[in-house]
């Protein structure tokens, strides 16, 4: 046979395959009706394993390829069944509060911290409750002392703030809004200080990492403290011209300190993502980002299986990060951000399927993201 004849045969086989796949999908609908009548879940791990093992044997030398193809077919069959069976309901989000109506928010650090400045930009009419630790922010919202908490979760240069992600999961909070803040780090000292005399630089560990090249260049020792603005306040309290801090211009003015140098971060574009968190699952009409975290079993193709569902639904991943799970050797949590909305049926069905099929799955929120500058 020449190439054209071979391709004609392939086209004929493809037509037959499509007809058979469509017939199989119709049978999946019938299975869904049976499951509804008998109170059964969509996902049946034992049944799917038996089918994959069987078709793998039928495939002979192409067994692995056949298993992979059938795995995708079965995923699409489940996707067809979820809206019919309505398994693993995804709760509809409440309307997110109007930012101008929020009266009190909680932030980590003291006034003048980047979190407090981000909170002021996001909720301009809100009073700010300053907390010593990230966990205290969650406590304040849980007690009702604040309507929302505003926390940093990621920096474009230094990476994720893992403690905040851990608290989101442990406390079962949701992200209701987010903001990408372009931050200008400043070296701040006493009124009589200059750069040449600085021996120690105080700040939060993230800010120190973001400005490590500059700190090394001036030959100073980095000193970790709980928050950028706390560092500035401590420099003011000590009154030592040989000690400086990294912080905001607002913190420098608030504590009567002098900006010795601006824009000292190692990266030209230093952006920190802040999130507003709540105990309530809320989303605005413009919410277009979905965040989730999940773990996967140690089985071939499981990560591909999840990501292929996102691709099939036309969902773009804007972030993926893995972290080891404590006390579980070589097992990982996956943090994923998608561009999408939970009012979309295909997206809801994917969330339903992951909630039912994965041992660990947490929906962190569906929210709108804005951007602004902090000096």
Give the model's confidence band at 207: pLDDT under 50 very low, under 70 low, under 90 confident, else very high: very high
Domain that holds residue 235: 187-262
pLDDT tens for 323-364 read 988 888 878 899 999 999 988 888 888 888 898 889 899 999
Residue 290 near residue 178 (C-beta atoms within 8 A): no
| Dist. CA 194–CA 211, nearest whole Å | 18
- pLDDT grade for 23, boundaries at 50, 70 and 90: very high
The Cα 81–Cα 87 span in angstroms is: 9
The answer to whether residue 306 sits within a structural domain is no
Q: Model's pTM, two decimal places?
A: 0.83
CA torsion, points 169, 170, 173, 179, in degrees to nearest 10? -50
Contact 151, 365 (CB under 8 A): no
Number of domains into which the chain is organized: 3
154 and 278 share a domain? yes
| 345 occurs within a structural domain | no
Residue 157: predicted pLDDT: 81
Residue 29 confidence class, pLDDT cut points 50, 70, 90: very high
Q: Is the pLDDT of residue 198 over 90?
A: yes
The whole-number pLDDT of residue 284 equals 85
The encoded tokens of residue 45 equal 């791990």
Whole-number Å distance between alpha carbons of 98 and 118 = 16
Q: Please, which pLDDT band fits residue 90 given cuts at 50, 70 and 90? A: low
- Which helix (H) or strand (E) segment is 85 a member of? helix 63-85
CA 334 to chain centre: 9
C-alpha closest to that of 277 among 114, 111, 166: 166
> Would you say residue 232 lies in a domain?
yes
How much is the pLDDT for 371?
95
Going by C-alpha positions, the residue among 47, 40, 119, 46 that lies closest to residue 84 is 40
Which residues neighbour 104 within 8 Å (Cβ) at sequence distance 6 or greater? 126, 127, 128, 129, 145, 146, 147
* The predicted structure's pLDDT at residue 253: 96
216 and 256 inside one domain:
yes
The verdict on 168 and 216 lying in the same domain is: no
User: By CB neighbour count within 10 A (0-12 exposed, 13-18 middle, 19+ buried), where does 49 fall?
Assistant: exposed
For residues 136 and 276, membership in a common domain is answered with: yes
In angstroms, the CA 301 to CA 307 distance is 10
Regarding whether 28 and 65 lie in a shared domain, the answer is: yes
User: Does the pLDDT of residue 87 top 60, yes or no?
Assistant: no
Average pLDDT over residues 178-198: 96
Residues 113 and 227 both lie in one domain: no
Rounded-to-integer distance, Cα 70 and Cα 74, Å: 6
The token pair that represents 372 in the structure block: 């602004």
Assign 188 a pLDDT band (cuts: 50, 70, 90).
very high
Cα-Cα-Cα-Cα dihedral sign, residues 349, 354, 355, 361? negative
Select from 23, 54, 87 the last residue of a domain.
87
Q: In DSSP terms, which residues pair with 105 in a beta bridge?
A: 128, 148
pLDDT for the residue numbered 89: 58
295-308 pLDDT, tens digit per residue, is 988 777 788 888 88
Residue 109 lies in a domain: yes
Domain boundary residue, one of 87, 106, 136: 87
pLDDT the model gives residue 91: 64
Q: Percent of the chain beyond pLDDT 70?
A: 98
Is 304 inside any structural domain? no
Same structural domain, 42 and 78: yes
Over residues 18-34, the mean pLDDT reads 95
Q: Provide CB contacts within 8 A for 144, sequence distance 6+.
A: none
Q: Is position 78 within any domain?
A: yes
166 shares a domain with 28: no
Q: How far apart are CA 244 and CA 343, in angstroms?
A: 49
- Provide, rounded to the nearest whole percent, the portion of the chain with pLDDT above 90: 73
Hey, is 131 helix, strand or coil?
strand
359 is a domain residue = no
CA angle in degrees (0–180, nearest 5) for 176-181-186: 140
| pLDDT (0 to 100) of residue 250 | 95
Of the CA atoms within 13 Å of residue 28, those in its CB half-sphere come to: 22
Position 59 scores a pLDDT of: 94
pLDDT of residue 204: 92
> Across all residues in the chain, what is the average pLDDT?
92
User: Other C-beta atoms within 10 Å of 64: how many?
Assistant: 12
pLDDT tens track for 146-179: 999 999 999 888 889 999 999 999 999 999 999 9
| CB-count exposure of residue 286 (10 Å: 0-12, 13-18, 19+) | exposed
DSSP-derived secondary structure for 203-222: E-HHHHHHTHHHHHHTTPEE
Domain harbouring 238, CATH code:
3.40.190.10
Q: Are residues 147 and 250 in the same domain?
A: no
Q: Is residue 229 part of a domain?
A: yes
Q: Select the more confidently predicted residue: 22 or 97.
A: 22
Q: Which amino acids are annotated catalytic?
A: 272, 274
213 and 254 together in one domain: yes
Q: Is 111 exposed, middle or buried (0-12, 13-18, 19+ CB in 10 A)?
A: middle
- Are 148 and 41 in a shared domain? no
Structural tokens at position 349: 């069905």
pLDDT at 86: 66
Structure tokens, 209? 């990492």
- The verdict on 67 and 102 lying in the same domain is no
What pLDDT, in 10s, does the model give residues 261-303? Answer: 999 998 878 899 999 999 999 888 889 999 999 998 877 778 8
């Amino acid at each position: 046979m020449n190439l054209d004849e071979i391709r004609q045969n392939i086209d004929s086989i493809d037509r037959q395959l499509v007809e058979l796949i469509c017939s199989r999908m119709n049978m999946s609908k019938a299975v869904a009706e049976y499951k509804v009548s008998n109170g059964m879940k969509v996902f049946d791990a034992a049944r799917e394993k038996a089918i994959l093992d069987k078709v793998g044997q039928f495939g002979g030398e192409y067994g692995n390829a056949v298993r992979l193809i059938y795995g995708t077919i079965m995923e699409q069959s489940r996707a067809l069944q979820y809206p019919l069976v309505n398994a693993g309901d995804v709760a509809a989000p409440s309307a997110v509060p109007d930012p101008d109506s929020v009266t009190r928010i909680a932030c980590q650090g003291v006034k003048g911290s980047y979190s407090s400045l981000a909170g002021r930009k996001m909720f301009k009419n809100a009073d700010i409750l300053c907390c010593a630790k990230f966990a205290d922010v969650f406590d304040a919202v849980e007690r009702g002392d604040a309507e929302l908490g505003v926390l940093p979760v990621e920096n474009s240069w230094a990476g994720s703030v893992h403690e905040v992600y851990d608290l989101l999961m442990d406390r079962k909070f949701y992200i209701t809004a987010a903001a990408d803040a372009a931050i200008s780090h400043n070296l701040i000292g006493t009124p009589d200080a200059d750069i040449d005399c600085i021996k120690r630089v105080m700040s939060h560990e993230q800010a120190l990492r973001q400005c490590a090249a500059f700190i090394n260049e001036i030959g100073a020792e980095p000193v970790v403290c709980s928050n950028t603005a706390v560092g500035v306040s401590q420099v003011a309290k000590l009154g030592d011209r040989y000690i400086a801090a990294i912080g905001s211009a607002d913190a420098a003015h608030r504590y009567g300190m002098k900006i010795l140098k601006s824009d000292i971060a190692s990266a030209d574009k230093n952006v920190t993502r802040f999130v507003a968190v709540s105990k309530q699952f809320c989303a605005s009409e413009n919410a277009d980002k979905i965040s989730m975290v999940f773990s996967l079993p140690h089985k071939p193709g499981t990560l591909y299986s999840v990501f292929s569902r996102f691709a099939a639904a036309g969902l773009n991943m804007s972030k993926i990060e893995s972290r080891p799970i404590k006390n579980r050797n070589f097992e990982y949590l996956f943090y994923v951000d998608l561009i999408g909305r939970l009012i979309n049926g295909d997206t809801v069905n994917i969330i339903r399927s992951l909630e039912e099929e994965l041992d660990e799955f947490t929906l962190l929120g569906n929210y709108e993201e804005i951007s602004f500058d902090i000096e």
